[in-house]
Amino acid sequence: DCQNWDKLVQANTRMLFLDTPSNPGVEIIDLEWAGKFAAAHNLILVVDNCFATPYLQQPAKWGAHIVTHSATKYIDGQGRVLGGLILGKKELIKEVQFFTRHTGPSISPFNAWVLSKSMETLAVRMDRHCGNALKIATYFEGNPEIEAVRYPFLKSHPQHDLALKQMKAGGGIITLTLKGGLARAQRFIDQLQMISITPNLGDSRSIITHPASTTHSKLSPEERAQVGISDGLVRLSVGLEHYEDILKDVERAIEKSK
C-alpha cells in the first residue's frame, strides 16, 4: 500500500528497496511514484529488476538510483552462471565495487564471458518468454480448477494499466492458485512431466515452484498470507518451448491432480 509509505519513513531511513514485478505474486509498483517519493524524502531508490530485465523495464528512467539483477536468471537464461548485477552512478556503487573486489563475490572471467554472450540474445529470448506466458495465462484464466491466474499483461491483473505504462511486455512469470490448497498443489507439481521442478526461474526450459514450501518457507503462515502466498499458489517460469507443449503438460497435471 504505497499510500502508507510516509508513515514508515523514519529519521534514520536512507534507502527504499523494492522489486517489481514482485516475487512471486507479480505485483506491480508504480516506479514513477516511487521515484518521486524517494526524491521527496531524500532516499536512495533501489529497484530489483530481475523479473523484467533491462529489455522490458528501465527503472532508472523513473528515478531509481540503483538497479539490481540476479544474472543467474534471465540475463544468463540457461542456468549456467551464478552472478548478479549492481547498476548505478559511480559515486553510489564505488564502495560496493571496492568491497566485492576484495572479499570474493566478484564473478569469474569465464562466467563474465558467458553472460556477455547471453546478453546478445536477451531481446529474442524475452520476446519468446513473454509471448508464451501471455498465451498460457490467457488460456487458463477461465479454467474451473484454477482459483486465480496472475500475469501483469492480463486485463484482470489489478495493476494492468500500470504494467502497460512501465513495461514493454509482461515477462515470463505466471502465478496459478489451484483449488484444493497444499495437497492439490503438491499433486499438480508431481504430475508434471516436461516442466522442471526447481526454485530457479528465467531458464530456457519451463520451471515450476511452490513458494510456500520453498522460496518463502521461512515466513510464517500469517506472513505468507499477508503477501498473498497461499498454500495452493504455484509460480510458473515459462520457458522457450513451444507454448502448446507447455499447455499440454499443465493441462494434464491439472486433470490428474483432481
| Separation between Cα atoms, residue 250 and residue 237, nearest integer Å | 12
Q: Which helix (H) or strand (E) holds 240?
A: none
CATH number given to 122-256: 3.90.1150.10
pTM for this predicted structure: 0.94
Cβ–Cβ under 8 Å, residues 32 and 166: yes
pLDDT of residue 103: 86
Integer Cα distance of 21 and 25 in angstroms: 8
Give pLDDT, residue 149: 97
Q: Where in the chain is the domain with CATH 3.90.1150.10?
A: 122-256
Comparing CA positions, the residue from 219, 143, 135 lying closest to residue 169 is 135
Q: Note whether 180 and 253 are within 8 A (CB).
A: no
The pLDDT averaged over each successive group of 10 residues in the chain (258 residues) is 84 96 96 97 97 98 97 96 92 85 84 96 99 97 94 98 98 97 96 96 98 93 92 97 98 96
Distance CA 139, CA 114 (A): 35
Closest to 183 (Cα-Cα) out of 236, 144, 232, 251: 232
User: What are 207's strand-pairing partners?
Assistant: 196, 237
Tell me the one-letter amino acid at 29: I
**Whole-number Å distance between alpha carbons of 250 and 65:** 40
| The three grid cell numbers given for residue 22, joined into one nine-digit string | 514482485
CATH of domain 2-119: 3.40.640.10
List every span in the chain annotated with CATH 3.40.640.10.
2-119
pLDDT of residue 232: 95
Would you state the pLDDT for residue 223? Answer: 94
Q: What is the pLDDT of residue 217?
A: 92
Return the pLDDT at 1: 67
